[in-house]
Structure 1
């Protein structure tokens, strides 16, 4: 089922894809890593509420005093780097990503550079040449910086980009950057997703080449 506005008829220059929860499902690995981290650092399980889509360092910073942040962040990153089991490509993701040339696509993720590389390799998804990680901007999602950087690297106006996201933090970042947004129902309920279009899966989306880029339609 698709909700929100109908698919736009205008031509987009590029597509910017979030990774976890949009292109791949890494939820089991994420859950194991953060659960173990929370146990090691004496956290109440409720600390996980609302964390998806936010950079790990921001989460750690919100939970611990400044003098413990570096060590605690390094620990959770290592836990995630060591756990690549059960990571799978979500329906329609490989086909949609593969339907665009490198000049028209990028991954924009809240993962670190090392973790993004591990998860892309572990899932086998066709990685684009442009991958923007949390290491590439001074502020992560929900700030617009990651998507602005993705547009900059592809040399396009952010208003000519369509963003695919699954999390409220990422959608807020994309909207703040001026991008058109398509939300995928994955890690959040449909009612939580404030986007121009909401789809059940990327398999519902078709990108058709057009002069200057591509158009978006829904199956």
Structure 2
């Protein structure tokens, strides 16, 4: 385990859905409708949070089914529904504090990521990695390795901030330190994969120094 409060990080790599933005209701509505239209039991959708839509579709469809068509269908459903998408506590402050040393690494498409950030009132960081940029999605390390590469930093000296086990596995496999938020998964699920677990980003403070980004625990308010 790494003590994230004792390190200075070259960059912070944020997931989006469930980490910066609350899009849970939208995601659940879209995927439930998609599954029901295909006769797929809704229970089979469990365990895929943080995984790219094409990977989920591939895992759920039968051999011979049209993966391209089914993926386009779920992507279109998600693009059409932004009702209730909001910024999670501490997200805006975290992005502002980290500034040019931030990247966002999401399993969503670029268009969907930008739409959700806009709906939540968040400004995306300059470096934005999406499903179109990967050949292998989370939990593979490629997404976070690419995020570090785009920023020109060593992934081992990065902090990955995630809400999903798949994303944490991706960050760890890339060599990064990991911070988990319990916005969509329980602390028990996340703790084995994270160096530190908090409720959301309001529980930590990021500060930019000449050498990089420092992380501290936010003061507890009554």
Unaligned runs of 5+ in 1: none
TM-score by length of 2: 0.94
Count residues in correspondence.
215
- The runs of at least 4 aligned residues of structure 1 exceeding 6 Å deviation read none
Matches within 5 A, 1:48-197: 48-64=45-61, 65-102=63-100, 104-193=101-190, 194-197=193-196
Aligned partner of residue 12 in structure 2, secondary structure: strand
Give CA deviations for 1:85-120 in whole Å, capped at 9, x if unaligned. Answer: 000100001111111222x00100000112112111
Q: CA deviation at 1:23?
A: 0.4
Unaligned runs of 5+ in 2: none
Structure 1, 86-95 or 7-16: larger mean CA deviation: 7-16
Alignment partners' CA distance in 2, 1:211 and 1:122: 33
Residues 207 and 216 in structure 1, CA contact (< 8 A), matched pair in contact too: yes
Matches within 5 A, 1:2-21: 6-21=3-18
Residues 98 and 207 in structure 2, CA contact (< 8 A), matched pair in contact too: no
- Structural RMSD (CA): 1.2
Alignment partners' CA distance in 2, 1:66 and 1:139: 22
TM-score by length of 1: 0.95
Aligned partner of residue 197 in structure 2, secondary structure: strand
Aligned partner of residue 159 in structure 2, secondary structure: strand
Q: CA deviation at 1:210?
A: 2.2
Alignment partners' CA distance in 1, 2:143 and 2:64: 24
Alignment partners' CA distance in 2, 1:89 and 1:155: 28
Give CA deviations for 1:52-103 in whole Å, capped at 9, x if unaligned. Answer: 111110000011134411110000000000001000100001111111222x
What is residue 214 of structure 1 aligned with on the other side? 213
Alignment partners' CA distance in 2, 1:99 and 1:148: 22
Q: CA deviation at 1:32?
A: 0.8
